[in-house]
A = this chain, B = another copy of it.
């Protein structure tokens, strides 16, 4: 009786996951175990084999690369007369941690994450990480061409406003560098602190102009902290709004 219920619940859950995937991404998964793995946050890692934990991190690594390639090609073809600087920046905007986190919440994918750390939403980047891991699972399950179609037709063209993105997110770090060169000020971005948390790391970067500390900012990446600190400095120095 217990076994019967266990088997029933187990298969009902898998059936639900299949349907969720069909609803969100428009396809029925082949090997459902891959997708289950993609949704397993490191806080809910399964067995260790020689210290090796089973969770979605490997699939995230793979999915990140596949997503990068698909988006690179999409932009390459969509913008035939833009240079590689433009394409690189557009791609960063599309696959940035914050974009992918938002996307994962919007799709409802983040709700499917299996985690033992639900109180604080299993860390800030878990949603985006799970999306990347999902892409990794999709790629292994269905191959490159199929994955490409799903990513373009069900994600990029539906959930991103590409024309809007072109003008979004001014890179204040670059702007600060341009300004300092033009106006002959010395400029430095100092990494002044690295804060280790349970599963993540945050970086504090300080903007130093003419050897004087202007502002600090904190982020999950050094680049992010630099940009935020630069934006604050831009305002604090009273430079023209961009």
Contact = CB atoms under 8 A, between A and B. Distances in A.
Given A58-B83, A68-B69, 13 more contacts: A52-B82, A52-B83, A53-B83, A61-B87, A65-B68, A65-B69, A65-B71, A66-B69, A66-B72, A68-B68, A144-B145, A177-B194, A190-B190
20 contacts: A49-B81, A52-B81, A52-B82, A57-B83, A58-B76, A58-B84, A61-B84, A61-B87, A62-B76, A65-B68, A65-B91, A66-B69, A66-B72, A73-B139, A143-B145, A144-B144, A144-B145, A188-B190, A188-B191, A190-B190
Contacts of A58: 76, 83-84, 87
Contacts of A72: 61-62, 64-66
A88 interface: yes
A73 B88 CA distance: 22
A189 interface: yes
A231 interface: no
A65 B71 CA distance: 9
Interface in A190-223: 190-192, 194
A147 to B, nearest CB: 10
B60 A84 contact: yes
Interface in A31-58: 49-50, 52-53, 57-58
Sorting the interface of chain A by its residue count into under 10, 10 to 19, 20 to 34 or 35 or more gives 35 or more
A143 B73 CA distance: 11
A95 to B, nearest CB: 10
A191 B87 CA distance: 26
Smallest CB-CB A-B distances: 9 pairs: A65-B72, A61-B84, A69-B69, A144-B144, A57-B84, A65-B69, A52-B81, A62-B76, A65-B68
A91 to B, nearest CB: 8
Contacts of A68: 65, 68-69
A186 to B, nearest CB: 9
A76 B144 CA distance: 15
A38 to B, nearest CB: 13
Nearest to A147: B144
Nearest to A76: B62
Contacts of A87: 58, 61
Contacts of A64: 72
A132 to B, nearest CB: 10
